[in-house]
Amino acid sequence: MKSACRHNVTWDGSTGVVACASCGAVEWWSDGRPLDAAEGMARLFGRFELVSTMPSLHAPAPNVLAYRAPTRRTRTRLEAFPIRQWLLVSDGLWLTHDGTMLLLCPTDPVLASNMGNGVETSPQEVGTR
Ligand SMILES: [Zn+2]
């Protein structure tokens, strides 16, 4: 089936993203070249702050991680993605947003564990000096 959707790239500086609400395609671009999804995510959302983990209702995995944008300007990066529609952005990782918060849903248990650990303090800091 040939899709009739148009894939417009939304640019934030030199980082471009396509997130298609019709067919679910996600593409990352950097100055006209395809960009690795992990790198694209890091560029757009690397400074977002994990604020809560919640059970999901209609998400692809049991838990959803909510991230807050550090500034009003970075929050506009969310607008490149369709609101309240889960898209698979990279292996094992789904993304959406509610207009305010970045919502990530890892279906990969290892990834989920790594991401969830971000809110907790590390027990390895226990020690004597
Ligand atoms: Zn499409």
* Mean pLDDT score, 5-20: 94
Domains in the chain: boundaries: 10-119
Q: How far apart are CA 33 and CA 42, in angstroms?
A: 17
Position 101 pLDDT exceeds 90: yes
Position 59 pLDDT exceeds 90: no
Confidence of residue 12 (pLDDT cuts 50, 70, 90): very high
Give distance in angstroms: CA of 122 to centre of ligand 1: 41
Cβ atoms of 24 and 36 within 8 Å: the answer is: no
Position 117 pLDDT exceeds 80: no
Give distance in angstroms: CA of 73 to centre of ligand 1: 26
Confidence of residue 120 (pLDDT cuts 50, 70, 90): very low
Give distance in angstroms: CA of 3 to centre of ligand 1: 7
Tokens of 127: 């020690």
Q: What percent of the chain has pLDDT over 70?
A: 87
Q: Tell me the whole-structure pTM to 2 decimals.
A: 0.83
pLDDT at 2: 59
Q: How far apart are CA 72 and CA 59, in angstroms?
A: 26
Give distance in angstroms: CA of 111 to centre of ligand 1: 27
